[in-house]
C-alpha cells in the first residue's frame, strides 16, 4: 500500500465519520465522546470541547461539541477582517468570527464533508448572513486563492489531516502577508504506551492523528511562519479506569503529575511581512 493510498483511506474514514456526526445532535456527540458512537465505558462527559455558549455570535444549532479549544477567542480578529475557518463543520467558529468582523468583514468556512457543508449553509441562510460562505474542499489543497485571509482559525481539525506539512503550507499560502492564524489542536507529549494511546482514542477521539508537540511546532516553523507561540495548553484527563489497564499504581501517579500525556493546545503564528530589500529575510 502506498502512502497516497493510506492518506486517501484516512480521508475517507474521516469523511464517513463526520457525515455521521453531522446527523447527530450536540448531546449525542457529547455522550459518545468521539462523536460517532465509539463506546466509552462508563464515561459520559465531554473531555475536550470548551464552552462557546457565552461568546458573541454563538449559534446553538452550529455547535456540535467537536472542538478542543476556543481559537476565535485568541485569534486577534478585527472588524473588517477576512477570516478563513478550516474544518468549519456546522459553522460554530465561523459564526463567532462573523460577530467580530461585522458587516464589512467576511468569513469563509472550508470543510471536507458534504453534510457538514449543507448544515453550515442552512444555518447561515436561516440567520440571513450574506458575508459568511462555506466551501467544500481539502485542507491540503484549499479551494481558495492565495493571500485572501487576514486570519485563519481551526478547531481540532488539523490533527485529522494526513499531510500536516501540506496543510500548514496551504495555510501560509492563503494568508495575506502579515496575516496570522490561531489553531486549537490535539498533540502528544512524551511516549504513551500503545495500548493506552488506543484506549485514549476510544475515549477522547482525534488522538490517533495527533503527533508530538515539538514536531507539530516544527512543521509550522518549516512552513515559513514566525512568532510562533502557544496561547493556551490543557491536559486531556484520562480516567483511572483506562490508565489502570496499562499502568501500575505508581506509574499512574507519575503519569498524572508528569509531562507525558495528551494535550489540547492553541497555537498562534504569523506570516512574515514581505521583504523590503536584500538581507531582510535572513
Look at residue 279 and tell me if it is in a domain.
no
137's grid cell:
474542499
Look at residue 4 and tell me if it is in a domain.
no
149-155 vs 106-111, strand pairing mode: unpaired
Look at residue 8 and tell me if it is in a domain.
no
Distance from C-alpha of 197 to C-alpha of 129, rounded to nearest angstrom? 41
Total structural domains within the chain: 1
Burial (0-12, 13-18, 19+ Cβ within 10 Å), 175 = buried
**Segment 46-80, tens digit of pLDDT:** 455 677 777 788 777 777 666 788 899 999 999 99
**Segment 31-46, tens digit of pLDDT:** 443 443 343 333 333 4
The CATH number for 96's domain is 3.40.50.150
Look at residue 184 and tell me if it is in a domain.
yes
Residue recorded with cell 460554530: 92
**DSSP 3-state percent helix, strand, coil across the chain (nearest 5):** 40, 20, 40
β partners of residue 188 = 212, 262
Look at residue 64 and tell me if it is in a domain.
yes
Look at residue 1 and tell me if it is in a domain.
no
This prediction's pTM = 0.82
Look at residue 50 and tell me if it is in a domain.
yes
- Its domain, for residue 52, covers 37-270
Q: What is the pLDDT along the chain (282 residues), one digit of tens a residue?
A: 444 547 676 656 655 565 565 555 555 444 443 443 343 333 333 455 677 777 788 777 777 666 788 899 999 999 999 999 999 998 999 999 999 999 999 999 999 889 999 999 999 999 999 999 999 999 999 999 999 999 999 998 998 888 999 999 999 999 999 999 999 999 999 988 777 877 776 666 667 678 999 999 999 999 999 999 999 999 888 888 888 888 888 888 888 888 888 899 999 999 998 754 444 454
Ramachandran category for residue 176: left, alpha or beta (phi over 0 → left; psi -120 to 50 → alpha): beta
Look at residue 232 and tell me if it is in a domain.
yes
Q: DSSP characters for 110-167?
A: EES-HHHHHHHHHHHHHHT-SSEEEEE-BTTB-SS-SS-EEEEEEES-GGG-S-HHHH
The pLDDT, as a whole number, for residue 37 is: 39
Distance from C-alpha of 276 to C-alpha of 175, rounded to nearest angstrom? 19
Amino acid at each position: 500500500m502506498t502512502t497516497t493510498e493510506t492518506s486517501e483511506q484516512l480521508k475517507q474514514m474521516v469523511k464517513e465519520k463526520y457525515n455521521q456526526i453531522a446527523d447527530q445532535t450536540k448531546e449525542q456527540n457529547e455522550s459518545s465522546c468521539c462523536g460517532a458512537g465509539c463506546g466509552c465505558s462508563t464515561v459520559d462527559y465531554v473531555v475536550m470541547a470548551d464552552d462557546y455558549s457565552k461568546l458573541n455570535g454563538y449559534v446553538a444549532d452550529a455547535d456540535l461539541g467537536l472542538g478542543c479549544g476556543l481559537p476565535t477567542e485568541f485569534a486577534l480578529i478585527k472588524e473588517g477582517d477576512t477570516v478563513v475557518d478550516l474544518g468549519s463543520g456546522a459553522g460554530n467558529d465561523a459564526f463567532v468570527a462573523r460577530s467580530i468582523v461585522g458587516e464589512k468583514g467576511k468569513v469563509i468556512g472550508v470543510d471536507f464533508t458534504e453534510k457538514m457543508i449543507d448544515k453550515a449553509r442552512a444555518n447561515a441562510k436561516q440567520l440571513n448572513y450574506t458575508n459568511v460562505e462555506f466551501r467544500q474542499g481539502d485542507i491540503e489543497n484549499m479551494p481558495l486563492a492565495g493571500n485572501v485571509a487576514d486570519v485563519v482559525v481551526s478547531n481540532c481539525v488539523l490533527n485529522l489531516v494526513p499531510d500536516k506539512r501540506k496543510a500548514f503550507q496551504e495555510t501560509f499560502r492563503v494568508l495575506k502577508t502579515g496575516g496570522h492564524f490561531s489553531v486549537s489542536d490535539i498533540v502528544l507529549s512524551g511516549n504513551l504506551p500503545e495500548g493506552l494511546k488506543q484506549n485514549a482514542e476510544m475515549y477522547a477521539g482525534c488522538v490517533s492523528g495527533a503527533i508530538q508537540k515539538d514536531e507539530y511546532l516544527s512543521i509550522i516553523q518549516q512552513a515559513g511562519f514566525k512568532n510562533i507561540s502557544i496561547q493556551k495548553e490543557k491536559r486531556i484527563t484520562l480516567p483511572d479506569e483506562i490508565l489502570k489497564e496499562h499502568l501500575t499504581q505508581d506509574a499512574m501517579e507519575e503519569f498524572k503529575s508528569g509531562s507525558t500525556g495528551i494535550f489540547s493546545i492553541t497555537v498562534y503564528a504569523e506570516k512574515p511581512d514581505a521583504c523590503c530589500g536584500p538581507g531582510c529575510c535572513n
